[in-house]
Amino acid sequence: MQNLNQDLAHFLEQLTARGVSANTQKAYSSDINDLLGFLSDTKQSLDLEALRSWLYRISEAGGSKATLARKTSAIKNFTAWRADSGLADQDPALRLRSPKLDRPLPKVASELSLAEVFDRMLSQATVDNPVGLMNHCAVELLYATGMRVSELAGLDLSDMDHDRQLLRVTGKGNKQRMLPYGLRAKDAIDRWIRLGRPALEIPSSSDALLLSSRGKRVGVRQLYDVVANQLATTTLGSVGPHTLRHSAATHLLDHGADLRAVQEILGHASLATTQIYTHVSVERLRSSFEQAHPRA
């Protein structure tokens, strides 16, 4: 068991070197430690039978499919790494199956409801209200680019290419990609940088694009609250920034964008992840047909 604990420490170090996020590492560490505790309590070796017993115990205790899938993924990554590193003769999780998850369609705001949100935010984005200028800029950028809220919070002024209307974001695994944005977002950015940011900037603001009312880099939690408050007036209710990401992807496909282009914009490693939005578009088409066609 001591060797397994040492292997886990080295595995986490390897994840850090690969640029895996701290949240993912924390989840892996928690799940694998849970398994190691189970092996210690039951005096079992790390083999397929023990893995199945461990997952069965979690299921019997009320663990959801999502929990079982997450734990299975963590263990499969760990045991595969041990085998590849020569720390184990074989990978005991090769035949371990992950439960299939029911993937609900993502929530998407209508174009009309978002237009109303942006019009209201624009009216509040005045020179006397620098936070309103920042809020408007943030929400416009989230929808214009489909970026993650963590990517937006990490943007610096040096990431902006104003002339070409491009910005550089750093996504999962520290992978960078260039994202275009439209005229509405450009206007919001220009107004924020020209009228809002100077009013909030302090010596320690550094190069951060978006600033809080205290002049510090804006945080993910604050951005979440801004979006939730603004979207609370729509039929979706108080939903977070990922809804703007879902909406951007779906609206792009609705207007004829190529699926692979949307994949690049969202920063998805797999096209299969992006394909969920094609289902959203089909469902929206079906809904419109049923409401509008006289013989539906």
**What are the structure tokens assigned to 183, written together?**
């005229």
In the residue annotation, 71 being an active-site residue is answered as no
In the residue annotation, 277 being an active-site residue is answered as yes
Ranking 76-90, 143-157, 234-248 by mean pLDDT, the lowest is 234-248
Distance CA 252, CA 33 (A): 42
Count of CB atoms situated within 10 Å of the CB of 287: 10
In order of their start, the domains of the chain are 2-84 (1.10.150), 111-291 (1.10.443.10)
In the residue annotation, 10 being an active-site residue is answered as no
Mean pLDDT of 124-148: 95
- In this prediction, residue 294 carries a pLDDT of 58
Distance CA 128, CA 291 (A): 45
Within 13 Å and on the Cβ side, how many CA atoms surround 262?
Answer: 23
Under 8 Å between Cβ of 141 and 147: yes
> pLDDT digit string (tens) for 167-176?
999 988 888 9
Distance CA 278, CA 271 (A): 11
| The model scores a pTM over 0.85 | no
| H or E element, residue 179 | strand 176-180
Q: Could you say which of 107, 168, 172, 177 is catalytic?
A: 172
pLDDT band at 20 (very low <50, low <70, confident <90, very high): confident
CA angle 154, 155, 156 (to 5 degrees): 120
In the residue annotation, 216 being an active-site residue is answered as no
Under 8 Å between Cβ of 88 and 7: no
**What are the structure tokens assigned to 28, written together?**
């892996």
Task: List phi, psi (to 5°) of 27.
Answer: -65, -45
Mean pLDDT of 124-135: 95
Mean pLDDT of 191-200: 96
What residues are paired with 166 via a beta bridge?
Answer: 161, 180
Using the CB atoms, write b or e for 238-266: b if 16+ within 10 Å: ebbbebbbbbbbbbbbeeeeeeeebbebb
Distance CA 290, CA 296 (A): 5
- In this prediction, residue 126 carries a pLDDT of 93
What residues are paired with 177 via a beta bridge?
Answer: 169
- Reply yes or no on whether the pLDDT at 18 is more than 80: yes
Residues near 181 by Cβ (< 8 Å), separated by ≥ 6? 141, 144, 145, 165, 166, 167, 189
In the residue annotation, 191 being an active-site residue is answered as no
Under 8 Å between Cβ of 63 and 70: no
Q: Could you say which of 136, 245, 246, 251 is catalytic?
A: 245
Query: What residue spans of the chain are helical by DSSP H?
Result: 2-17, 22-42, 48-60, 65-84, 111-124, 130-145, 149-153, 183-191, 197-200, 220-231, 242-254, 259-266, 271-274, 276-292
CA-to-CA separations, 76 to 81, 119, 129, 270, in angstroms, rounded: 8, 48, 51, 19
In the residue annotation, 284 being an active-site residue is answered as no
Q: Could you say which of 82, 148, 197, 251 is catalytic?
A: 148
The residue with tokens 């590492």 is 25
